[in-house]
Amino acid sequence: MSHIDLSLGRKMMSREVFMGAFIFGVGGIATVVFGAPIVAYVLGPLLKQPTDVWRDIGAVSDWKVGETRHVIIEYPDQRSWAGPTRETASWVRRNEPGSVTQFTAFAVYCTHLGCPVQWLPIPTLFICPCHGSVFYGDGRVAGGPAPKPLFRYLTKVVGNRVFIKTEAVPLTT
Ligand code: FES
């Protein structure tokens, strides 16, 4: 009789151990699955690299006066998994002498839904290939559906070098 009781006790003990380990394991997995995004959300801003930095895009003499050129710019956020999304582009124009700034840099993104606009030197318009928005040479909307002018990056000239201030382009709506 005592032999049977011991065996039953061992079975119950092993079942309790198993259930405890199972609950502990499931609880641990649930903590990681649900906790990791929260930790990432809280700590993300601290680990994020700034994106609004001045970037050298070339020499002043690379542009003729009045010329608008397509320039690839990299965000400073160099996370390896970002791949090609680390790159964006700008249409950069060397202004006529006497203008407020020596250069003007437009974001390539259409303010409708973000397609990259194309510059047409003749007739000096930006055209969006997606839904047909048209922008004047100064970035103002000439024809919708785009609701706002093209976003402009800040520019400056230091010595003979042209700099553009990369920053997040505001949402279109
Ligand atoms: S994204 Fe440019 S017109 Fe729609």
68 lines ligand 1 (CB under 6 A): no
Decide whether any atom of ligand 1 lies within 6 Å of the 112 Cβ. yes
- For the stretch 12-39, pLDDT in tens is 667 778 888 888 888 888 888 888 777 7
Quote the strand ranges of the chain, DSSP E: 54-59, 68-74, 87-94, 103-107, 118-120, 125-127, 134-136, 141-143, 152-153, 155-158, 161-165
Contact in structure between 76 and 51 (CB atoms under 8 Å): yes
- Does the beta carbon of 73 lie inside 6 Å of ligand 1? no
Q: Could you tell me if 49 and 75 are in contact, meaning their C-beta atoms sit under 8 angstroms apart?
A: no
Q: Is the beta carbon of 145 within 6 A of some atom in ligand 1?
A: yes
Q: Is 70 in the pocket of ligand 1 (CB under 6 A)?
A: no
CB-ligand 1 contact for 146 (6 Å cutoff): yes
**If 0-12 CB within 10 Å is exposed, 13-18 middle and 19+ buried, where does residue 78 land?**
exposed
CB hemisphere CA count around 168 (13 angstroms): 7
Which one-letter DSSP state was computed for residue 109? B
pTM above 0.75, yes or no: no
CA-closest residue to ligand 1 atom 4: 131
- Name the residue at shortest CA distance from atom 1 of ligand 1: 113
Atom of ligand 1 nearest to the CA of 146: 3
Question: How much is the pLDDT for 77?
Answer: 57
Q: Is 6 in the pocket of ligand 1 (CB under 6 A)?
A: no
Biggest CA–CA distance in the chain, Å, is: 107
CA 57, CA 85: separation in Å to the nearest integer?
A: 18
Mean pLDDT of 81-88: 68
Residue nearest to atom 3 of ligand 1 (CA): 131
Alpha-carbon Rg for the chain in angstroms = 29
Q: Where are the alpha helices (DSSP H) in 48-120?
A: none
List pLDDT tens digits, range 123-173: 999 999 999 999 999 999 999 899 999 999 999 999 999 999 887 777 654
